[in-house]
Amino acid sequence: MIARLLLAAWLAAGTCAWAEPSTTADRPAGSAATRGILFEIHSPTGAPPSFLFGTIHSEDARVVELAAPVREAFDASPNVALEVVPDASAIIRAMVTMAYTDGRLLRDVLPADLYLETADALVGIGMPEEAFKDIKPWAVVTLLSSPPSETGEFLDMLLFRQAVADGKRVEGLETMTEQLAVFDALSETDQITLLRETLATRGQLPRMFEALIAAYVERDIDKLQHLSDQHLAESDPRLAAHFQEVVIDSRNHRMVERMVPLLAEGGWFIAIGALHLPGDQGVVALLRRHDHGVTVVF
């Protein structure tokens, strides 16, 4: 269950929305784009255009090699906005949030059988007990539900590093605390339940990740949305509804609220995940309802 929820979260933090160039003009105002990975945004202030780019949190070579139109838009933009600025302070905040600070250890919280199974799984991905002894169950779930990393050069991190190297202004649309709150606010009982189910479904993850990356490479937002919906449909209905509201819908509105002043300046390259873009409550539709022009570039 949580593996499916986190798979959708991974998709939200790292994929794109799309728009067919031939149908953009005919699409009703407020409807979400269905095809494309890069959009040009025009603010009603008349500011220079900005760009909205969909990313996927992946280091796959098929993902990290930017297409020419994306590279050109990035290079032409003096400012870059990401969901979260992945700098040292954000990483430290994440580490603090993931760990108990009240003296408890993971083995104190989990039933003995679950702790042994969890420890075996974490050791299996290269984490010694000293490294995970005080982290929370939800943090274990994120570790076990993430794609295996070989280089650490994920697309969103590459964009951040390139922006810094180029001397661009870099802003985050959210804080690390805001992003992690959806999991950190779960009850301990829910965290333990989700951990058990994560361990039971881990074997499905490589196939799921490959399906998502393949859909991304094909630039097929319908398939990406279908995969996410399918995974959520197989999850606990209460937690799936909570995920949709807290991880997707509420954040869409928050990010758009924080985008609008940037777009009023113009010259921004904004990178957020695909599940935040499509649908009536998606970022594309919300921007259009704020009288912004949204057209596909690539």
Answer yes or no: is pLDDT of 33 > 60.
no
Answer yes or no: is pLDDT of 127 > 90.
yes
Can you tell me which residue has the tokens 């280091």?
59
Burial 231-270 (b: 16+ CB within 10 A, else e): bbeebbeebbebbbeebbbebbeebbeebbebbeebbbbb
Burial 278-295 (b: 16+ CB within 10 A, else e): bbebbbbbbbbeeebebe
Nearest to 141 by CA among 185, 105, 194, 181: 194
Contacts of 90 (CB under 8 A, 6+ apart): 84, 172, 175, 176
Contacts of 46 (CB under 8 A, 6+ apart): none
Q: Residue 25's pLDDT is what?
A: 35
Average pLDDT over residues 108-124: 97
Task: Evaluate whether 224 touches 170 at the Cβ level (below 8 Å).
Answer: no
Tell me the three state secondary structure of residue 135.
Answer: strand
292 versus 203: the higher-pLDDT residue is 292
9: phi > 0 → left, psi -120 to 50 → alpha, else beta; which?
alpha
Tell me the three state secondary structure of residue 280.
Answer: coil
pLDDT per residue over 145-169, tens digit each? 887 788 888 999 999 999 999 999 9
The DSSP letter of residue 248 is: I
Can you tell me which residue has the tokens 């870059």?
80
pLDDT per residue over 50-89, tens digit each? 999 988 888 999 999 999 999 999 999 999 999 999 999 9
Answer yes or no: is pLDDT of 28 > 70.
no
Task: Evaluate whether 220 touches 247 at the Cβ level (below 8 Å).
Answer: no
Burial class (CB in 10 A: 0-12, 13-18, 19+), 72: middle
The DSSP letter of residue 99 is: B
Q: Residue 15's pLDDT is what?
A: 36
- From CA 229, how far away is CA 26, in angstroms rounded? 26
Phi, psi of 80 (to 5 degrees): -130, 130
Average pLDDT over residues 226-238: 75
Contacts of 113 (CB under 8 A, 6+ apart): none
